[in-house]
Chain A
């Protein structure tokens, strides 16, 4: 414990060094702006910032992206509460009580509750991340290839099952991603696969190209088809300020804070269950177990605290498997993993031994990011929401420009520009036909790791595929993966049973609604 505190202290000292601190502040501001703008998502923002990190050292890069990630979970709350415009899907639950409270004439109080909720969720998640990381890393040291394969499979299945929407479409998206990762020279046998004689494809398709194309260009094309209808803000109206709740008011909501933090951290650790799901689940839990559950939706603080605490609390949960296993659990952490790999470092248990200063600097930057984003939100809210005046067509043109630079900078080849445009169109088609993009991106990133661990296991264990089930850790993780895949079925059965218990009439109504 003392060692952890000592390392964390060293991390704080490192973060206060010039470039790290600048990266942190820039990351916080840009993350908030991205979250405020309805046309830009948090993940897209982190993707677009990636090319700017090429010239930075690895710690500065990760601090910048992590700061963006953290502040992105908070920035969208402003527009949800003040203008009924959720900057991110995670901010939708804030419309129900946050906006209602603002409409009742207490916008400052609603913003105050959000600020305190983000602060609490953020600090708790940082403490959890620091506390869990080392035990996680020690545990991960016992992993061999079958265990890695099992963990990647768990990541795949939970992302597919918990990501929302159609399981069939999510599986197709995932398989397409894994197959894209097979393009190039095979690692085990050194043979070309799907290169079609194009030299640059022998190096494979960069996951960065897929991410930038599908998230950036694809999203812009989708919005262009809708005519860039989210018009700039016409009038903010009223005085915009933040009023911090009193200690007595905060104490009354202690159970809500505790429940939401737990939901957030758990959703963070499980791959696929990101901030959006945490935000909705937490609101749902509050509506089931909250002391004032019947008043939810009428503009009470419980309905603001629950989703905001949970969404911010997912960040630390996501960072633990990312740093200790190299497994990203969300779109944003997938990009952060991409930044690690671009700088030639594969996160994993050995990172704690070899690069402990870097790891603890990242943890320290998370603490500072949480505090920084709250200060930023408190003092600069009026300025931040001015970004809503930007016309969407101009924002979109800049997004494309970021995408082009991002793709071109990686290998300086025009083929990558063609690829991002192709993946942009593919991303648009995915969105148009309701195929989620996240499983494809995770498939591209984790596909090579899955293949390598699978093939190595097969070679080491003489093609005995039962090895994945016989070894205690990999067997348990594979079982969890199966449970994750069966989760939609279980959920459906439970819902049906609940409806049946309420009577045939209700069941019919439920079916009609479904």
Chain B
């Protein structure tokens, strides 16, 4: 039963979230719509459809019908590869590293948090180096070179050629960005 509940969990979560958004959608209205369909109709229609499909998913997961051959909703496209279908290959299950994943997510979020403060150059360099190391690559020299080179090339291409206004950061970190911009001839 626990396995079935676990299997149905994504559908429960989606159902709960769509229920919340349906409640939010109740508050969407426009004056003077008269007999016409209002701005809430379209999202509400899809939220109801989403909830219905989630209910089907929950029902199938709990009733244990997911692997049955007569379940047309789970028939894979004939000949499609396991990777495309999201299925796992036969044999030993792939080994997973949840801590690496957690580390990666924390790094990504940290990168965004510090983006404005450190500026593009320092933040990106630090993020890339840390991400490469979290990704279990241990040749420090190569990792530093790739991070530094990649960050500088991106900074040059996007600030000098494509004219994207990347953040330079707050003082004192902005001094580093301004120094590099001068070196590269970026105004």
A396 x B131 contact (CB < 8 A): yes
- Chain A residues with CB under 8 Å of B24's CB are 194
Interface size on B, residues (CB 8 A): 86
* Chain A residue at minimum C-beta to C-beta distance from B15: A172
* Chain A residue at minimum C-beta to C-beta distance from B40: A193
How long is the Cα–Cα vector from A313 to B128 in the complex, in angstroms? 38
Cβ-neighbour of A167 out of B73, B86, B105, B146 (below 8 A)? B73
B50 x A176 contact (CB < 8 A): yes
Chain A 158-174 interface residues, beta-carbon cutoff 8 Å to B: 162-169, 171-172
How long is the Cα–Cα vector from A179 to B24 in the complex, in angstroms? 13
In this assembly, does B35 line the interface, its C-beta being within 8 Å of a C-beta of chain A?
A: yes
Cβ-neighbour of B80 out of A171, A225, A228, A277 (below 8 A)? A277
Q: Chain A CB within 10 Å — which of B70, B83, B112 has the most? A: B112
How long is the Cα–Cα vector from A155 to B80 in the complex, in angstroms? 20
Known contacts A401-B154, A424-B108, A488-B73; A228/B135 CB under 8 A: yes
- Chain B residues with CB under 8 Å of A54's CB are 162, 164
In this assembly, does B178 line the interface, its C-beta being within 8 Å of a C-beta of chain A?
A: no
How long is the Cα–Cα vector from A220 to B131 in the complex, in angstroms? 11
Cβ-neighbour of B84 out of A89, A176, A463 (below 8 A)? A89
- Chain A residues with CB under 8 Å of B69's CB are 496, 510-511, 514
Known contacts A227-B136, A434-B86, A458-B36; A179/B98 CB under 8 A: no
B28 x A221 contact (CB < 8 A): no
A226 x B97 contact (CB < 8 A): yes
B43 x A182 contact (CB < 8 A): yes
In this assembly, does B95 line the interface, its C-beta being within 8 Å of a C-beta of chain A?
A: yes
In this assembly, does A353 line the interface, its C-beta being within 8 Å of a C-beta of chain B?
A: no
- Chain B residues with CB under 8 Å of A392's CB are 135
Minimum distance in angstroms from B8 CB to a CB of chain A: 11
Cβ-neighbour of B50 out of A169, A172, A220, A421 (below 8 A)? A172
How long is the Cα–Cα vector from A451 to B37 in the complex, in angstroms? 12
Known contacts A51-B162, A397-B132; A165/B38 CB under 8 A: no
* Chain A residue at minimum C-beta to C-beta distance from B116: A414
Cβ-neighbour of A191 out of B28, B46, B60, B112 (below 8 A)? B28
Known contacts A165-B85, A225-B97, A405-B158; A454/B77 CB under 8 A: no
Cβ-neighbour of B100 out of A168, A225, A405 (below 8 A)? A225
A191 x B29 contact (CB < 8 A): yes
Known contacts A89-B81, A284-B79, A393-B136; A463/B35 CB under 8 A: yes
Cβ-neighbour of A193 out of B28, B49, B105 (below 8 A)? B28
Known contacts A175-B53, A191-B30; A459/B36 CB under 8 A: yes
* Chain A residue at minimum C-beta to C-beta distance from B151: A401
Chain A 407-455 interface residues, beta-carbon cutoff 8 Å to B: 408-409, 412, 414, 417-418, 421, 424-425, 428-429, 431, 433-436, 451, 454-455
A221 x B80 contact (CB < 8 A): no
How long is the Cα–Cα vector from A192 to B24 in the complex, in angstroms? 11
| Mask: chain B, 7-46; 1 = CB below 8 Å from A; 0 = not | 0001100100000010011001110010111111111001
How long is the Cα–Cα vector from A228 to B135 in the complex, in angstroms? 7
- Chain B residues with CB under 8 Å of A463's CB are 35-37
Known contacts A55-B162, A193-B28, A221-B104; A166/B73 CB under 8 A: yes
- Chain A residues with CB under 8 Å of B105's CB are 221, 425
- Chain B residues with CB under 8 Å of A106's CB are none
Chain A 181-238 interface residues, beta-carbon cutoff 8 Å to B: 182, 186, 188-194, 217, 220-221, 224-229
| Mask: chain B, 104-144; 1 = CB below 8 Å from A; 0 = not | 11001101100110000000100110011111110000110
B131 x A168 contact (CB < 8 A): no
Chain B 80-97 interface residues, beta-carbon cutoff 8 Å to A: 80-81, 83-87, 94-97
Cβ-neighbour of B14 out of A162, A172, A414 (below 8 A)? A172
Minimum distance in angstroms from B73 CB to a CB of chain A: 4
In this assembly, does A52 line the interface, its C-beta being within 8 Å of a C-beta of chain B?
A: yes
A397 x B72 contact (CB < 8 A): no
* Chain A residue at minimum C-beta to C-beta distance from B147: A397
In this assembly, does A489 line the interface, its C-beta being within 8 Å of a C-beta of chain B?
A: yes
Cβ-neighbour of A227 out of B42, B74, B95 (below 8 A)? B95
How long is the Cα–Cα vector from A414 to B119 in the complex, in angstroms? 12
A189 x B124 contact (CB < 8 A): no
In this assembly, does B184 line the interface, its C-beta being within 8 Å of a C-beta of chain A?
A: no
| Mask: chain A, 466-491; 1 = CB below 8 Å from B; 0 = not | 00000000000000000000001101
A491 x B42 contact (CB < 8 A): no
B112 x A414 contact (CB < 8 A): yes
A226 x B158 contact (CB < 8 A): no
How long is the Cα–Cα vector from A510 to B69 in the complex, in angstroms? 8
B56 x A168 contact (CB < 8 A): yes
In this assembly, does B168 line the interface, its C-beta being within 8 Å of a C-beta of chain A?
A: no
Q: A191-B30, A436-B86 are in contact. List 13 more A-B contacts (CB 8 A).
A: A167-B74, A168-B53, A224-B104, A225-B97, A225-B100, A229-B94, A277-B77, A431-B86, A434-B85, A434-B86, A458-B37, A491-B75, A492-B72
A interface residue numbers (CB < 8 A to B): 51-52, 54-55, 89, 92, 162-169, 171-172, 175-176, 178-179, 182, 186, 188-194, 217, 220-221, 224-229, 276-277, 280-281, 283-284, 391-394, 396-398, 400-401, 404-405, 408-409, 412, 414, 417-418, 421, 424-425, 428-429, 431, 433-436, 451, 454-455, 458-459, 462-463, 488-489, 491-492, 495-496, 510-511, 514
Nearest 4 Cβ contacts at the A-B interface: A393-B135, A280-B79, A434-B86, A164-B77
Please list 21 pairs of residues, one from A and one from B, whose beta carbons are closer than 8 Å in the complex, sorted by A's number: A55-B161, A55-B162, A163-B77, A165-B80, A167-B73, A169-B57, A172-B53, A176-B14, A179-B46, A179-B50, A186-B30, A194-B25, A194-B43, A224-B97, A225-B96, A226-B94, A226-B96, A392-B135, A408-B164, A421-B112, A459-B36
